[in-house]
Structure 1
Amino acid sequence: MGNCYLKKNDLKSAIEYFERSLTEHRTPDVLNKLRATEKALKNQAAEAYIDEAKSEEARLQGKEYFTKGDWPNAVKAYTEMIKRNPKDVRGYSNRAAALAKLMSFPDAIRDCEQAIKIDPTFIRAYIRKANAELAIKEYKNCADTLSEAREVEAKANPNSAQLREIDQLYQKALSQRFAPLDGETYEQTMARIQKDPEVVEILSDPVMNSILQQAQNNPAALQEHMKNPAVYKKILVLMSAGIIRTR
């Protein structure tokens, strides 16, 4: 009976009879059919709920709540927006912004990752993800997110304001990452920094060692090397860590 209803696309009835079957004899085959049918019914309901006009209404409502500082209702409105149009990246990005206001940073990061998955060129999602990672002191993840964002944005809009925002946030992340801890002396700070895995990796790189030695004799050469994005990133790390000092 369950299989017959499944072929008729009457998923609710199919689920009912698969459940009846399992009460009589619990077999893996029927259990898998039940789970698959439940998932199909859930997807069917979600697709039937999609409505772009109602999604836009929910977006505007969420924006209104957000502007008023009503973060919980903003989250609810943006959740409705996502349900009505799960392909609109703004829903995930906007909800992430509201979640961040509620200090729910891991959830905000997940929403940003979903937005990036849907549209890898949506830079605002990268920036919001990086801010959330910075808030929970995931400095390496934050830097990686910003590096990815910079690569995407530099290709599309090399002179955009968002690119400058990315660079400023990157500098902030590095600054906080290598800042002295409470009660830490300068010597203790430098000892901790020199054990940082990324710093150790950079200083162990023969190419970087060659660049640094060249820069000691010719500081202008460092500027030339920094035109390479990979080298630029490593130099910024060393500068923020205090390994390279500028006058």
Structure 2
Amino acid sequence: MPIPGLPSDTPTRAALIDHLVRTRIAGDVATPRENNLSHYRRLANGDRHYWLGLELDDRWTDEQDVLAVMAERCGVVPDPGHRSGQDTIDPELTVDALDRMAARLRKAAEDHQRVLLATGHPGGLLDVHRATATALRAAGCEIMTIPEGLATDEGMVFQFADVAMLERGATLWHTHSPDPMAAILDGLAREDRPQPDLVVADHGWAGCAAQRGLDSVGYADCNDPALFVGEAEGTMQVTIPLDDHVTSPRHYDPMTAYLLDAADLV
């Protein structure tokens, strides 16, 4: 079925890679090298804010080990001597991860699974998740409704267009915290409702679900290493590398169309 708002023609792999580089979703991205290395260092130093809800193995205490994982799974510059300036995301790795996520979405559709979608980046990724929810529901999945009245220290947890997110002062709120996902999963348990078979999310929302043993796939930027480390450990199923807040959310539409087509959902 056609998904409202997405291109009618699905891009080829080559066309999508060209688009990702041209819009700086991948390739030479806006996130500076200094910011990336700072976040890798903080993860290695045990700063839980940068663990995105995961409990990481104690071998990740060296910034260089984190950098090596990010070079392998995200495509940042592998040279530890590159300390400032431009950094990169490999668009081939982005599309490879989209293909892996598509395989998991296909399984969810075939088995009519319960799926929970959530985002801490509503300004960039909300419509990616919304379109995914629409396609999965059309394929027979149950798109889970979250409990009402959930809150964290940052704000209220609510659901809009089938996607859970944080609201604060009547504004959709950017957060990397795992607390909103924890509130949802705990709320489902209190209501004696089943947990999701699959979580499609990003940042702390995805990390929290994965840490609780749920199948979790998601998106992360090159300055958010935890989900890539989690995938390397086998806790996260798939982490897609991309700039998670480019100048226009519409730039993600060809990527979403490619993902859903690869999952046989359009």
Structure with more helix by fraction = 1
TM-score, reference length from structure 1: 0.23
Structure with more strand by fraction = 2
Rg larger in structure: 1
TM-score, reference length from structure 2: 0.22
